[in-house]
Structure 1
Amino acid sequence: MSAGFTLSDFTTGYRKQRVFDQLNLPTLTPGSLVAVLGPNAVGKSTLLKAIAGLLPASGRLQLNDIDLATLSGAARMRHVGYLPQTLPQATTLVAYEAVLSACRAVRPDLSRTEIDTLIERVFDALAIRSLALRPLSELSGGQRQMIGLAQAIARRPALLLLDEPTSALDLRWQLALIDTVHAVIAERQAVCLMAIHDINLALRFCDQVLLFGNGGLLAAGDPHDVITPDVLRTAYGVESRVEHCSQGRPIVLSDRVSALSTH
């Protein structure tokens, strides 16, 4: 039995535009938090949508001993948790009901008691218990983003796909979210692909990096090996440095747009 997540010979896109053609990724091991980096319009969101089964695609999608390519709809979503960029709708549902509905939709195998226990744990892990009985219509964008994350992880998927999960969050909640996701993934030995723009968050917290550019996948592997001035110049068209802070941790400093940039 293969462990982790493997994507190979993967082709997807839209009716008039193929975004990825025969894409291959290194096997992502259980317990990995993987940053999906790259400039706008290189296909980060498309990749996550296609893996989630929301776009037509071909190729091999192996999650542990499961061939995701053979599954569709609710069957795939039992194994895959997906958080899109769009926030949960500002409805009159309270936050707890929204998460409960999401769980019951894809985990009919669980009893109400089991689902309630899962939700309680997730609300505590994300430190959002105070939001449980508040209508989504009364929550801020960042709070609704946290509820969306709760919907994705409460179902205990083996593969978690997060599309810009920190976009509506302030610095404190960005750190809390990534810290919690990392802990959940490690505990469950799941795999998480997280599209993110903040290179330094990826460098600090993620186990692996997939860096995309206009030419497709530019580099993959350990963040400290992948995130280099040369690769960042190719991907983003900027001149940058990788320095070290007072605690010895690497940090990227971007100085200027590269003279060779075509962006």
Structure 2
Amino acid sequence: MTAGLQIDHLTAGYPDRHVLQDVNLPAVPAGTLVAVVGPNAVGKSTLVRAVAGLRPARGRVLLGGTDLATVSPRERLRRVGYLPQALPQSTSLVAYETWQSALRASRSEWSTAQREAAIEAVVAALGLQALALRRLDELSGGQRQMVGLAQVIVRAPRLLLLDEPTSALDLRWQLQVLQAVRALAQQQGAVGLVAVHDLNLALRFCQHVLVLGGGSVLAAGNPAEVLTPALLQRAYGVLARVERCSEGNLLVLADAALPL
């Protein structure tokens, strides 16, 4: 399969302090969702922002074999979609207008019919028909998070950078979002880098996991192989089990927090 994303020796953080040092992600193919996991303050958001070009960093981020540092800002906007933790601003615009604005900024070469078709497809995939003509200042936090996700996906980027995309969502919408993102990544040949706290969502929907800790990568690979009790103890300081449910899905069950 064609390599979609590769990260080589990435170091990122603040002018006076490195948060991450020498982060590597071996090439993962197009259609892959990569979960970025780890406890609080280990650099999950820093990594996502650095890959997006929004945080000063050293090293290389290759998308489809091209170093993203070598492409123009406009071309990077076309290739990379970034969803921050912060919710979209509450405004009087309706959701449909925000999606049109996202396409005008990044896909100016598309016709009106192409833009409308792209919006229709994403709205259907995410189940947002009821929100399309609602004003953002009338929506809940979770609904605005869904609108923001649609703004990213509708542009059909080759790389989806999603920072806690399910943080404001209830259980049904968490499943809806990750099901849709995984399906769209596979259909469009994109790669998703998803910072997420819920390890069970990572096990269920992501084909690759990157575990951060201590400013670097503790482990990377297939979630079923990487997320072991020993790794969970090392990364999170917990006693935990990894077991299969009656449906055959792996689940992380945390039993106790270890003393610091």
Q: What is the DSSP-based 3-state SS (H/G/I as helix, E as strand, rest coil) of the residue aligned with 1:251?
A: strand
Residue pairs, 1:73-112, within 5 angstroms: 73-112=73-112
Work out the CA distance in 2 between the residues paired with 1:55 and 1:43.
Answer: 12
Identity level (%): 56
Structure 2: which 5+ runs fail to align?
none
Instruction: Give the drift of 1:189.
Output: 1.4
- For normalisation by structure 2, the TM-score amounts to 0.96
Per the alignment, residue 171 of structure 2 pairs with 171
Q: SS of the residue aligned with 1:25?
A: strand
**Alpha-carbon shift at residue 2 of structure 1 (Å):** 6.2
Cα deviation, 1:157-205, whole Å, max 9, x if unaligned, reads 0000000000000000000000000100011111001000000111111
Tell me the secondary structure at the aligned position of residue 27 of structure 2.
coil
Aligned counterpart, 2:53: 53
Q: Contact 1:58–1:69 (CA<8 Å) still a contact in 2?
A: no
> Counterparts in 2 of 1:31-70, with a 5 A limit?
31-70=31-70
CA displacement at 1:21 relative to structure 2: 2.2
Letter in 2 for 1:155: R
Structure 1 CA distance for aligned equivalents of residues 32 and 88 of structure 2: 26
Provide the aligned C-alpha RMSD in A.
Answer: 1.4
Cα distance in 1, alignment partners of residues 202 and 65 from structure 2? 28
What amino acid is the match of 1:80? V
Mind listing any 5+ residue stretches in structure 1 that lack a counterpart? Answer: none
Deviation at 1:126, TM superposition (A): 0.5
Cα distance between partner residues in 2 of 1:59 and 1:154: 29
Matched residue, 1:222: 222
Shift of 1:74: 2.7
Aligned residues: 260
Partner letter of residue 45 of structure 1? S
**SS at 1:93's partner residue?**
coil
Q: Which ranges of 4 or more aligned residues in structure 1 deviate by more than 2 Å? A: 71-75
Question: Counterpart of 1:100 in structure 2: which amino acid?
Answer: Q
What corresponds to 1:120 in structure 2?
120
Q: In 1, Cα distance between the equivalents of 2:180 and 2:249?
A: 20
